[in-house]
Structure formats: C-alpha cells, structure tokens
Amino acid sequence: MSRPAHVKNVESAESLESAESLITRFMFENLDICGAVVQLSGTWQQMHAGRDYAQQTRDLLGELAAVAAVIGSNLKTPGRATFQAQGQKTGPISLLVVDCEQSGSGDQLLLRGMARSKGEVAAAPLHELLGDGKLLFSLQTAAASTPYQSYVPLDGGSIAQVFEQFMSQSAQQPARLWLFADGAQAAGLFLQTMPAREHAATVDPDGWNRVQQLAATLQRQELQLPATTLLERLFSEDDLRVFAPIPVHYHCPRDEDKVRSMLISLGHQEVAGILAEYGEIVVRDDICNHEYRFGAEIIAELFPSAGQTLH
C-alpha cells in the first residue's frame, strides 16, 4: 500500500485497518504535538446493545467510551482506568461509567460501560444533563495495592470540554478533543502538545494554533475513513509519524464463579432466607447487562456441609 511521503509509519498498520475498533496514535515530526484517532464501531455497538438508552444518554456514553480509549492507550503501565460520572437528582442522567483495561502486553484495550437515565433526555449542556454531578477517575495497576482516585470537576458543556481540562492539567500540556457518537460509532480526534523539542518551535511557532484550526474542520463522516487517510486529509502539509493501531475489544464475559463466591460470602442462612421469600435468587450485573438466576438447588451446591435442603 503506497502512501504520500508525509505519512511515516513506524510499524505496519495494513493488517489492522479493516478491524472494527481501533485507536491510532500519531505525532507531528516537526512540531511538539502528538495525538490519536479513536474509532469504535463493533465494540461500541456491543456496549449499548439491548440497553434501550435514550439517544442523548447513548451518545454521551459513546463519547466517554472514546475518551476512555484515548487515556487507556496512554497508560505507562498496564492497568484499568475507570471513569464514573455521577449525576445529581436534578439531572435526567444519573450515571455514566466506562472501564478501560490495557492488556498485560499492551497490544489491545478491553472496554465496557453503562449508563442510567430516567425519562426523555433532551439535548442540553452536560451540567444540565448530570445535574451538577461529579466525575471520578480511578486507576488500578498491578504495582499498586490500592487504586489511585481523583475527582474531576464537570466544568464545561460537553464530555470533550471536561476532559480537555482534565488531560491538560494531568500532563501540564494543552489538549484538545473532538468527539462524535451515535448508534453505530463512537469516535474522536485527540491532540496534545508535548514538551518542547529543540528545533520544533523554530519550524512553525504558530503550529499549535494552526493544527487546532485544521482539526476543527473534522466532519463526523470522515471518522469512518482509515485513520491514515483521515490524517492525510486533515494535515496534508505536515509530516506525520503514525504508529500501528491498537485494537479495542468489548470485554464483558459472564462470570458465574464470581457470583457464586458472592453468595457464599452471604452465608447459608441469608441465601436460604432469600430463596424462601422469593423462590429464586436473581443477580443483575448492570455494567455487563447480564442476569444470573438460581433456584433451591444452589443451597446444596454452595453449602454442602450444611446438611439441609430447602423445602
């Protein structure tokens, strides 16, 4: 596959370009700017399948999923980043949550998430939809016994504006985000300045402003193009180094063993009492949209030493 000379790949990307969900990182060779293109299709569709979200709720969750993929791909060590926007009673959206986990080898991202809302959700600024809510960012790595947690102000009228401030503050470098989401795709473009390199400022001292203006011309339909094609269109006069894309997968398998362990922790008496009152035990895994049902036979399975059965 031939490419214009201004796009340079440090790793071959052709084998992944047809994949459904990817995040593609890049940097400007002659500017102190890096970025990423995130394109979630199949992964995003699996996340909201069967949820029956209001359109505005669904689209906000999609934007949060796209941001989570951007930040997850930038983790310096493998770990799991969780983003939880908790709404207050005054807003129609009470919860947006996305987990993004980087695999041990760092060659893929695992994503899952959910939302809660009530009634019709009309288009409105973010602070109105969440009702003066708050965003909790949590990062768990293998090296830390407890997760790092930080509350992020919901300052701004959109998910993009909130995370522009968060990412600018956390890295001490200006950042910009353009996010789009609908039922088929959650996608976006991320840009951030890097610590100054020796020659970059002399090449184009207005580079950051110019690149932002070019990025602002991005159209939703362009995010359906391969990332390299998109970048060539947006930044046709710049030399870019495009890295091999990272696949992003929806990861929410059923976990019967985890649910059984939870029931064991409740104890024989509590489990038997629930069965006696309701006739069955129903456990909902909201973030993965799974349901687990158990009848009276679960007593003998979980507590064989109890020596009694439920009648």
The pLDDT value recorded for residue 144 is 79
The pLDDT value recorded for residue 106 is 66
**Across 199-203, average pLDDT:** 55
State how beta strands 109-117 and 246-250 pair.
parallel
The pLDDT value recorded for residue 224 is 92
Give pLDDT tens digits for 115-170: 999 878 888 888 888 877 788 999 988 777 788 898 887 888 899 999 999 888 88
Residues of the chain with CATH 3.55.30.10: 7-250
Rounded alpha-carbon distances, angstroms, from residue 246 to 11, 20, 55, 106: 11, 11, 28, 9
Give pLDDT tens digits for 5-54: 355 554 433 333 334 799 999 999 989 999 999 999 999 999 999 999 99
CATH number of 7-250: 3.55.30.10
Q: Which residues pair with 138 in a beta bridge?
A: 82, 149
Residues of the chain with CATH 3.90.1280.10: 256-305
The pLDDT value recorded for residue 86 is 86
The pLDDT value recorded for residue 77 is 80
Q: How far is CA 305 from the centre of its chain?
A: 44
Q: Which residues pair with 250 in a beta bridge?
A: 111
Give pLDDT tens digits for 55-104: 999 999 999 999 999 999 988 888 899 999 988 767 889 899 999 998 76
- Residue 149: its H or E element: strand 148-152
Q: Is the pLDDT of residue 198 over 60?
A: no
Length of the chain: 311
- Residue 150: its H or E element: strand 148-152
**Across 228-237, average pLDDT:** 95
136 close to 86: Cβ distance less than 8 angstroms: yes
Q: Say how far apart CA 35 and CA 90 lie, in whole Å.
A: 36
Structural fold of domain 256-305: CBS domain Like (3.90.1280)
Lowest mean pLDDT among 81-85, 171-175, 197-201, 209-213: 197-201
- The token pair at 231 is 């970048």
CB within 8 Å of 272: residues ≥ 6 apart: 299, 310
| Nearest CA-CA partner of 235 in 40, 29, 96 | 29
State how beta strands 22-28 and 246-250 pair.
antiparallel
Residue with tokens 């939302």: 115
Rounded alpha-carbon distances, angstroms, from residue 255 to 185, 262, 292: 27, 11, 9
Residue 197 pLDDT grade (very low, low, confident, very high; cuts 50, 70, 90): low
The pLDDT value recorded for residue 310 is 42
Give pLDDT tens digits for 236-293: 999 999 999 999 999 998 899 999 999 999 999 999 999 999 999 999 889 998 999 9
- The token pair at 305 is 């030493």
The pLDDT value recorded for residue 110 is 95
Rounded alpha-carbon distances, angstroms, from residue 181 to 116, 132, 146, 160: 17, 23, 33, 12
Q: Is the pLDDT of residue 2 over 80?
A: no
Task: Answer left, alpha or beta for residue 134, where phi above 0 means left and psi between -120 and 50 means alpha.
Answer: beta
Q: What is the mean pLDDT of the chain?
A: 86
**b vs e for 156-165, b when ≥16 Cβ sit within 10 Å of the residue's Cβ?**
beebbbbbbe
**Is residue 301 helix, strand or coil?**
helix
CB within 8 Å of 155: residues ≥ 6 apart: 161, 162, 165
